Amino acid sequence: MYRQKYLFLIPGLLTLVAIIVFPLLFTIRVSFSSWDVIQPGLDWIGGENYARLWEDERYWEALLRLAGMAGGTVLVQYVLGFGLALLVWREVLLKRFFRVLFLIPMMTTPVVMSVIWRTIFHESLGPVNDLLQRAGLEALPWISSAGLAFTSVMIVEIWQWTPFMFLLLLAGLLSLPEEPYLAARIDGAGPFRTFFRVTFPRMAAISVGAILIRLIEASKIMETVYVLTSGGPGTATETSSYYIYIRGLRDFQLGYAASLSLIYLIIMIVSLTLIGKGLTRIFVKDQA
């Protein structure tokens, strides 16, 4: 009877193996093969793909670019998301309406939104340049200059995913106890002191969680780059996911793309673990 209880684990374990373990093991195996347009299937070439990727400057540049893009967007999303959550946390007019309104960007499909943003940023026909010119300002090369194209991708990401940050932080705010605020009021603390001494420290744990979740998501950015800039101009907005997509599905270098993916996965696991530990040590230590 005692042993039979493990039988109940089998469906879950099988599902886990099917959707996580098998694809991962298969990808590892593919990364040691030369599978491409000429060589179908799983031959064995040892670590050739891994040796090749060390010299692949485009891959490492894309990874650095991704780090900047993900860090920048998540930071802005956190600040904006926290601000919006604070706005609708307390009793305000049309609170429910605003809570739903803020979530709309997150509910739309990234590809569709990227197409719409591409139209908005269109340098000849888009409304942004039109408005700038009506205001007497110069039209800007939103997609065709390296710096602005990078900024445009970040704007779309921030617009789309700030609501996610908002949602998590609002849930955190709503779960805070009332007593510390009563005590702060009795002690005569103003709104800023209350925020920095009461709200922010108590939101630290959930903030770290939200930032990590968003960093994981942001590190996979692909659709926005694909639709908005195709990685250009030049390679100015090429991120790791997009580069791996090009190598894997456009060039059909499946073996090499698998090795790129695995190294990317390892780097992400290590760096996100370190970031998580660092943030926890800095912000959550006192709480613990």
Partner 1 sequence: MRHYPSRAKALWTAALSACLFGTAAAKDYTEYGIDEDVPGPGSYETIDGKDYSGRKLTIITHAVPVIGEPTALHAEQFEELTGAEVEVVHVPFGDLFQRIMIPFQTGQQAYDVLFYGSLWLGDYHRYLAPVPEKYQNSSAMQGVTPTYRDVATWGEEMIQFPVDGDRHYLKYRSDIFDDPEMQARYLEDTGEELRVPQTWSEYNEVAQYFTGWDWDGDGEVNYGTAEVTKRDDLMFSAFISRAAPFAKHPDVPGGFFFDLETMEPLINTPGWVRGLELFVEAQEAFPPGGTSFGLGDEIFSFGGGQVLMSYSWDDAFIQAMQEDSRIRNEVGAAILPGASEVWNRETGQWDQLSEPNRVAYITWGWTSAVAGNSPNKDMAFDYLAFFSNQANTKHDLQIGRFGVNPYRTEHFDADFWIEEMGWDEDTATTYVETLEAIDSSDNRVFDLRVPGVGQFMTSLAAGVAEALAGQATPQEALDGVAEEWSRIVDRIGEDRVREAYSTVVAIEDAR
Side chain identity at residue 263, one-letter code: I
The dihedral sign for the CA sequence 238, 241, 247, 249: negative
Least distance between partner 1 and beta carbon 232 (Å) = 4
Cα–Cα nearest to 258, from 18, 32, 19: 32
Binding positions for partner 1, rule: CB under 8 A:
34, 36-38, 40-41, 58, 122-124, 129, 139, 141-144, 146, 149, 226, 229-236, 246, 249-253
Least distance between partner 1 and beta carbon 100 (Å) = 32
Q: Report the Cα 56 to chain-centroid distance in Å.
A: 24
Least distance between partner 1 and beta carbon 121 (Å) = 8
Cα–Cα nearest to 181, from 87, 98, 90, 94: 90
Least distance between partner 1 and beta carbon 16 (Å) = 25
- Dist CA 218 CA 207 (whole Å): 16
Taking residue 233's Cβ as centre, other Cβ atoms within 10 Å add up to: 16
Q: Looking at beta carbons only, is 173 or 257 nearer to partner 1?
A: 257
Q: Report the Cα 45 to chain-centroid distance in Å.
A: 34
Q: Looking at beta carbons only, is 97 or 252 nearer to partner 1?
A: 252
Q: Looking at beta carbons only, is 162 or 237 nearer to partner 1?
A: 237
- Dist CA 61 CA 274 (whole Å): 21
- Dist CA 224 CA 117 (whole Å): 9
Q: Looking at beta carbons only, is 40 or 191 nearer to partner 1?
A: 40
Q: Is 36 exposed, middle or buried (0-12, 13-18, 19+ CB in 10 A)?
A: middle
Q: Looking at beta carbons only, is 63 or 84 nearer to partner 1?
A: 63
Least distance between partner 1 and beta carbon 40 (Å) = 3
Least distance between partner 1 and beta carbon 36 (Å) = 7
Q: Looking at beta carbons only, is 25 or 249 nearer to partner 1?
A: 249
